[in-house]
Amino acid sequence: GAGVSQSPSNKVTEKGKDVELRCDPISGHTALYWYRQSLGQGLEFLIYFQGNSAPDKSGLPSDRFSAERTGGSVSTLTIQRTQQEDSAVYLCASTWGRDTQYFGPGTRLTVL
Amino acid sequence: GENVEQHPSTLSVQEGDSAVIKCTYSDSASNYFPWYKQELGKGPQLIIDIRSNVGEKKDQRIAVTLNKTAKHFSLHITETQPEDSAVYFCAASINFNKFYFGSGTKLNVKP
Residue pair A78/A65 in contact by the 8 Å Cβ criterion: yes
Per-residue model confidence as pLDDT tens digits over A40-81 = 788 999 999 988 888 999 999 999 999 999 887 899 999 999
Residue A94 confidence (pLDDT) above 60:
yes
Residue A30, chain B, CB below 8 Å: the answer is no
Residue B46, chain A, CB below 8 Å: the answer is yes
The one-letter code for the residue type at A108 is R
pLDDT confidence bin for A1, thresholds 50/70/90 = low
H/E run at residue B34: strand B32-38
Q: Percent of chain A, pLDDT > 70? A: 99
Over residues A20-42, the mean pLDDT reads 92
Instruction: Kindly give the pairing relationship between strand B10-14 and strand B105-110.
Output: parallel
Q: Of B24, B21, B22, which is closest to residue B5 (Cα–Cα)?
A: B24
Q: Of A109, A47, A45, A48, which is closest to residue A82 (Cα–Cα)?
A: A109
Q: Of B78, B86, B83, which is closest to residue B11 (Cα–Cα)?
A: B86
Can you say how many angstroms the Cα of residue A82 is from the centroid of all Cα atoms in its chain?
15
Tell me what pLDDT residue A100 has: 83
Min Cα–Cα distance to chain B from A105, Å:
4
Over residues A76-102, the mean pLDDT reads 93
Residue A97 confidence (pLDDT) above 80:
no
Tell me what pLDDT residue A53 has: 86
Contacts of A42 in chain B (CB under 8 A): 89, 101-104
Tell me what pLDDT residue B26 has: 96
Task: Centre a 10 Å sphere on the Cβ of residue B47 and count the other Cβ atoms it contains.
Answer: 18
Residue pair A80/A16 in contact by the 8 Å Cβ criterion: no
Write out residues in chain B with pLDDT < 70, as ranges.
none
Tell me what pLDDT residue A15 has: 97
